[in-house]
Each structure stands twice: as C-alpha cells, then as structure tokens.
C-alpha cells in the first residue's frame, strides 16, 4: 500500500499534538498566562517555518503576490490555530491528555463528516448516506 506513509504521518501528527499539549501547558505554568504561552508557541513555530522556507523552499516567496485578492476566510487558518492552541493550553491541565485528545478527535470526526457530506471548504463531497 503506497499511501501507508500518509497514515503513519497522521498518527505521528496525533502523537505530536498530545506532546504539544503537555509542553504548552507547562509553558503556561511558567508564564502564568495561556494566551502568552500560545503566542510564544506560535513565535517559535513561525521561526522554524521561516528558517525551513529560507533553506529549502526559497522559491516559494514568488507565490506571495497570489495572496492579493484572496478570499478573506483563507486568512483565518492562523486565527483558528491560535484558538486551538490556546484552548488546549486551558483544557489539558484540567481534564488530562487522554480526555483532551479524545474530545478533540471526536470534534474533528463530527465536523469532518459535516464538511465531507456537504463538500465544504474544498473537500470532495462524500455524502453520509
């Protein structure tokens, strides 16, 4: 099965999210502020992404003019990411890693079914029935 690497990558992403929740929760404890902890997390991630693009995908910068005239909602991914990270920082210490991950996965599955059923946000339509 040629696509098995994608399934393994998805599992790795899940592992990373659980680890991230713990690390960011510890950062919150040190800083005493969940939003500041999320900000630090995003700054660190942004620096790593910038270095990666500069080293390995410098030609990608030529695509930046394509941002002009882009639909407004396509800018919200970072906002949603900030809300997610901040939410996990708030929730994980209270309900634990397993409950946090389980409820996140449940929410993802339920909303993914909705997105697939109606073919929203560029997904191919896959009706439930």
- DSSP string of 2-68? TTHHHHHHHHHHHHHHHHHHHHHHHHHHHHT-HHHHHHHHHHHHHHHHHHHHHHH-GGGGGGGGGGT
Share of the chain above pLDDT 70, in %: 98
In terms of Cα–Cα distance, which of 67, 112, 84 is closest to 123? 112
- Span 21-34, pLDDT tens digits: 999 999 999 999 99
- Span 78-108, pLDDT tens digits: 999 999 999 999 999 999 999 999 999 999 9
Give yes or no for a contact between 40 and 27, defined as CB atoms under 8 angstroms apart: yes
Token digits of residue 1:
């099965």
| pTM exceeding the 0.85 threshold for the entire prediction | no
Predicted confidence at residue 2, as pLDDT, reads 62
Residue 121: pLDDT band (50, 70, 90) is very high
Give yes or no for a contact between 117 and 127, defined as CB atoms under 8 angstroms apart: yes
Predicted confidence at residue 3, as pLDDT, reads 85
Domains of the chain: which residue ranges? Answer: 14-60+70-118
- Span 63-73, pLDDT tens digits: 999 999 899 99
């Amino acid at each position: 099965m040629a696509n098995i690497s994608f399934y393994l990558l998805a599992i790795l992403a899940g592992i990373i999210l659980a680890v991230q929740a713990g690390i960011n929760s510890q950062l919150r404890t040190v800083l005493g502020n969940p939003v500041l902890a999320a900000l630090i997390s995003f700054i660190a991630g942004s620096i790593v992404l910038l270095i990666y693009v500069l080293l390995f995908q410098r030609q990608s910068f030529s695509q930046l003019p394509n941002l002009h005239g882009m639909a407004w909602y396509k800018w919200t991914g970072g906002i949603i990411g900030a809300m997610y990270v901040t939410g996990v920082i708030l929730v994980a210490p209270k309900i634990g890693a397993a409950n946090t991950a389980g409820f996140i996965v449940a929410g993802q599955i339920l909303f993914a079914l909705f997105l697939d059923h109606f073919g929203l946000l560029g997904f191919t339509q896959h009706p439930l029935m």
